[in-house]
Structure 1
Amino acid sequence: MKRLATGLFFVATAIFVLAFALEPSMPGWAYVRAAAEGAMVGALADWFAVTALFRHPLGLKIPHTAIIPRRKNEIGRTLGTFVETEFLSDAVVRQKLESIGIARGLGDWLRRPENAERVSREAATALGGVLSLLDDSDVQALVEKLARRHLLEPEWAPTLGRLGERMLVAGQQTPLIDAGLDTLERWLEAHPEAFGESVSNRLPRWVPRVVDKLVDDRAYREALRFVAAVRADPEHPLRLAADRYLDGLFTDLQNDDATIERVEKLKSDVSASPRVHEFAVEAWAAVSETLDASLTDPDSDLRRGIVRALGDIGERLRTDATLAAKIDAWATDAACYLVANHLSDIASVITDTIEKWDPQETSEKLELQVGRDLQFIRINGTVVGALAGLAIFAVASGLRAVLG
C-alpha cells in the first residue's frame, strides 16, 4: 500500500513535468498541470500527516510529529480511562450480563455429556495437583489436631448419655439386643463342647464323669431354650432388665460424677495412646490414596458421580426458571461488585501494559494494524488534490477571462 501511494505521487510528478513542458505550446495542458500540481501537494501533505503519527518525517524532529511513540504512555492512560468509564461502568456491565442469561447458557453447556466430562477431567486434574502439593506430615498433624480438639477434648460421658437416651426412646436398642442374641445362639450351636466344659469344670472333682456329661447336656439345652425364649418374647424379663440397665447407665453418664470420671479416665488413656497419631496417619493415607486413584480413573465412581451431578445441574439450570433467575442475579451482582471495587485495577492493566511497550515497537505494531487504511488516506489525498487543483485553476481561469 505504501508503494501504491508513493507510486501515485511519482505518476503525478511525471505528469506535472510533462504538462509544464508542453504548456507554452499547448495551453490546454495548463489544466493537466494544475491537476498534477494539486495531486502532488495532496500526496505530500497526507504523506506528512500519516508519517507524523508514527515517526519524524525524513528524520527531521519537527514539532508535533512522531505522536504515537512520544505520547505512548498518555495514550495508554487515556485508553484505560476510556475503557473504565465507558465499558466497565456498573450500568453497562449489569445490562450486558442481564441480557446474556448466564444460568441458562451454563445449563445448556453442562447438560452435554462431553462438556460435563471435560469439567470433571479438569476438576480432577486440579484436585490431583492440590493433593500432590500437600505435605503428608502437615495433613496428618492437622487430622490429629482436629481429632483431639473435636473428639477428645469434649466430655464423652454426657454426649454418650444423651445419644443413649435418644436410642432408648426410639427403641433402637432392640435390634442391638437381637443381634447379640443371634450371635450368642450361633456360638452355642457351633460350640456345644466348649459350653459344656465351661459348666462341668465348675463341678466338684468327686462328681462322676457320667454326671458331668448329663449336667453339660442339660445346661446346654437350657441355655439354647433360654436364648430362644428371649429372642421370641419382646417383653421377656431379660429384655426389660437390659432396658432398665441401659436407662440407668445413660442417666449416670449424664449426671453421676463417678461414672463421668471413669469415662474421662478412659478418654485420657485413649488420648495418651500413640494410636491417635497412628489413626491420623492411616486415615490420611487411606483418604489420599483413594482420592488419587478415583481422580485419575475416568471410570471411577467419583468421576462418574461428578459427571452425573454436573449433567443434573445443567438440566435444572435449563428448566428451572426460578433457580436460573437466582443464579443470574447472583452472578450479575458478584460481577458488578468486583468491577465496582476493582475498576481501577482492571483498567490499569491496559495502562501498565502499554507503558511497558517499547515506543518504536508500539509504533510499528499500530502501523501494521491500521497502516493499510492510512495509505488509502494518501491515495485519496492525491486524487482529491488533483481534483481540487483542477477546480481551482479552472475557476481562476474563468474569472480572469470574465474580468479580463
Structure 2
Amino acid sequence: MKLLATGLLVLMAVIFAVSFALQARYPWLQYVRAASEGGMVGALADWFAVTALFRRPLGLKIPHTAIIPTRKNEIGESLGEFVEENFLSDAVVQEKLASVGVSRVVSGWLSQPANAHRLTNEIAGGLTGALSFLSDDEIRSVIEGLARTHLVGRDWSPQIGELASSVLATGHQHIAVDLLVDKAEQWLAANPESFTALVSKRLPSWLPSFVDRLVDDRVYREALKFVQSVQANPGHPLRKALDEYLLRLADDLQHDPAMMKRVEALKEQVLDDPRLRELAALAWQAIKDALTASLENPESALRLTIESTLVDVGTRLASDARLASTVDTWVANAASHLLASYRHDIAAVISETVSRWDGKEASQKIELQVGRDLQFIRINGTVVGSLAGLAIFAVAQGLLSAF
C-alpha cells in the first residue's frame, strides 16, 4: 500500500513535469498541470500527516511529529480512561447483563446432561489439581492453627456447663442412666463368676474358702438386687443423687474457677497428645485419598451427585422464575461490586501494557494494524488534491475570462 500511494505521487510528479513543459504549446495541458500539481500537494500533505503519527518525516525534528512513540504513555492512559468510562461503567454492564439473561443462558446450558457432564469433568479436574498442589504439612499446620485458635484459645467450661444444663433441664440424662443400668444388670446376670472373682480378690487371704463363697454370693445378690431396683424405680435415690451431682457439676463448670481450671488443663493435655496429632494427620490423608479417588472415577457417587445437582440447578432455573430472578439480581450486584472495586485496575491493564512497550515497537504494532487504511488516506489525498487543483484552476480561468 505504501508503494501504491508513493507510486501515485511519482505519477503526479511525472504528469506535472510533462504538462508544465508542454503547456505553452498545448494550452489545455494547463488543466492537467493544475490537477497534477494539486495531486502532488495532497499526496505530500497526507504523507506528512500519516508519517508524523509514527516517526519524524525525513528525520526532521518537527514539532508534533512521531506522536505515537513520544506520547505512547499518554495515549495508553487516555485509552484506558476511555474503556473505563464507556465500557466498564455500571450502567453499560447492567444493561448488557439484563439483555443477556444470565439465569436463562445458564439454565439452558446446564439442563443438558452432556454439558453438565462436561462441567463435572472440569470441576473434578480442578479439585484434583488443587488437592495435588496442597501440601500435607501445610494443611496439618493450618488445621492445628485453627484448632488452637478455636479450641485451645477458648474456655470450654462455660459452654459445656450451659450445654449440660440444657440437657439436664429436659431430662435427657435419664436415657443415658437407663442405658447404663440396663447394661450393668445384663452384665451381672450373665457374668456372676467374673463379679465374684473380683470380690474374692479383695478379701483377706486368711479367710476360709467357704466364707469367701458366702461373701461372694451375698455381695453378688445384693449388687444385682440393687441394680434391678435402680432399673425398676424411676425415683430411686441413686438416680436423684446422679441428677443432683450432674446439676452441681454443670453449675461448677460455669461458675467455679477451680473446676474451670481443671477442665482447661484436661483439654490442653488431650489436644497436646502426639497421638491426637497423628490421628488428625491420618484423618486428613484418608479424606484426601478418598476425595482424589472419587474425583478421578467418572462413575463415583461424588461425581454422579455433582452432575445430577448441576442438571437439577439448570432445570430449577428454567422452571422457577423467582429463583432465576434472584440469580440475575445476585449476578448484577456482584458485577456492580466488582466494577466499583476494580474498574480502575482493569482499565489500568491497558495503560500499563502500553507503557511497557518500547516507543518504536508500539509505533510498529499500531502501524501494522491500521497502516493499510492510512495509506488509503494518502491515495485519497492525491485524488482529492488533483480534483481540488483542477477545480481551483478552472474557476480562476473562468473568472479571468469574465473580466
TM above 0.5, one fold?
Answer: yes
Post-superposition offset of 1:29: 3.9
Q: In structure 1, give the amino acid aligned to 2:33.
A: R
Contact 1:38 1:389 in 2 (8 A): yes
1:358 counterpart = 2:358: yes
For residues 89 and 131 of structure 2, the distance between their equivalents in structure 1, rounded to whole angstroms, comes to 36
1:117 counterpart = 2:121: yes
For residues 65 and 38 of structure 2, the distance between their equivalents in structure 1, rounded to whole angstroms, comes to 24
Post-superposition offset of 1:4: 1.7
Post-superposition offset of 1:103: 4.0
State the match for 2:64 in structure 1. 64
For residues 131 and 167 of structure 1, the distance between their equivalents in structure 2, rounded to whole angstroms, comes to 46
Structure 1 segment 151-300 matched on structure 2, within 5 A: 153-155=156-158, 158-159=161-162, 161-166=164-169, 168=171, 173-174=174-175, 177-178=178-179, 181=182, 185=186, 189=190, 194=194, 205=208, 207=210, 236-237=232-233, 243-255=239-251, 264=260, 267=263, 270-271=266-267, 273=269, 276-278=272-274, 281-297=277-293, 298=295, 299=297
Q: Deviation above 6 Å: which 4+ runs of structure 1?
A: 199-204, 259-262
Aligned mate of 2:147, from 135, 143, 147 = 143
Contact 2:188 2:195 in 1 (8 A): no
Q: In structure 2, give the amino acid aligned to 1:296.
A: T
User: The residue matched to 2:157 in structure 1 has which SS?
Assistant: coil
For residues 19 and 187 of structure 1, the distance between their equivalents in structure 2, rounded to whole angstroms, comes to 134
Contact 1:116 1:311 in 2 (8 A): no
Post-superposition offset of 1:106: 4.2
Contact 1:144 1:276 in 2 (8 A): no
Post-superposition offset of 1:374: 0.5
Post-superposition offset of 1:277: 3.6
User: The residue matched to 2:380 in structure 1 has which SS?
Assistant: helix
> How many residue pairs get matched?
388
Contact 2:178 2:231 in 1 (8 A): no
Contact 1:104 1:317 in 2 (8 A): yes
For residues 333 and 101 of structure 1, the distance between their equivalents in structure 2, rounded to whole angstroms, comes to 14
The answer to which of 348-357 and 126-135 deviates more is 126-135
User: For the structure 1 residues 25 and 362, does the alpha-carbon distance in structure 2 shift closer, same or farther, using more than 3 Å as the test?
Assistant: same
Post-superposition offset of 1:226: 10
State the match for 1:370 in structure 2. 370
Contact 2:72 2:355 in 1 (8 A): yes
Q: In structure 2, give the amino acid aligned to 1:207.
A: F
Structure 1 segment 93-112 matched on structure 2, within 5 A: 93-109=93-109, 112=116
Post-superposition offset of 1:14: 3.1
For residues 385 and 157 of structure 1, the distance between their equivalents in structure 2, rounded to whole angstroms, comes to 95
For residues 283 and 102 of structure 1, the distance between their equivalents in structure 2, rounded to whole angstroms, comes to 46
Normalised to the residue count of structure 2, the TM-score between the two structures is 0.75
For residues 342 and 101 of structure 2, the distance between their equivalents in structure 1, rounded to whole angstroms, comes to 24
State the match for 2:402 in structure 1. 403
Contact 2:39 2:382 in 1 (8 A): yes
Contact 1:103 1:327 in 2 (8 A): yes
1:76 counterpart = 2:106: no
User: For the structure 1 residues 347 and 243, does the alpha-carbon distance in structure 2 shift closer, same or farther, using more than 3 Å as the test?
Assistant: same
RMSD in angstroms over aligned alpha carbons? Answer: 4.3
User: The residue matched to 1:273 in structure 2 has which SS?
Assistant: helix
Post-superposition offset of 1:156: 7.0
In the TM superposition, what whole-angstrom CA distance separates every residue of 1:210-260 from its partner, at most 9, and x where no partner exists? x98xx79xx89x96x999x89xxx982278666544433332223479x97
Normalised to the residue count of structure 1, the TM-score between the two structures is 0.75
User: For the structure 1 residues 156 and 262, does the alpha-carbon distance in structure 2 shift closer, same or farther, using more than 3 Å as the test?
Assistant: farther
For residues 236 and 359 of structure 2, the distance between their equivalents in structure 1, rounded to whole angstroms, comes to 94
Unaligned runs of 5+ in 1: none
Post-superposition offset of 1:33: 3.5
Post-superposition offset of 1:121: 3.1
Unaligned runs of 5+ in 2: none
User: For the structure 1 residues 10 and 176, does the alpha-carbon distance in structure 2 shift closer, same or farther, using more than 3 Å as the test?
Assistant: farther
For residues 45 and 269 of structure 2, the distance between their equivalents in structure 1, rounded to whole angstroms, comes to 93
For residues 209 and 133 of structure 2, the distance between their equivalents in structure 1, rounded to whole angstroms, comes to 76
Structure 1 segment 19-58 matched on structure 2, within 5 A: 19-58=19-58
For residues 47 and 136 of structure 1, the distance between their equivalents in structure 2, rounded to whole angstroms, comes to 70
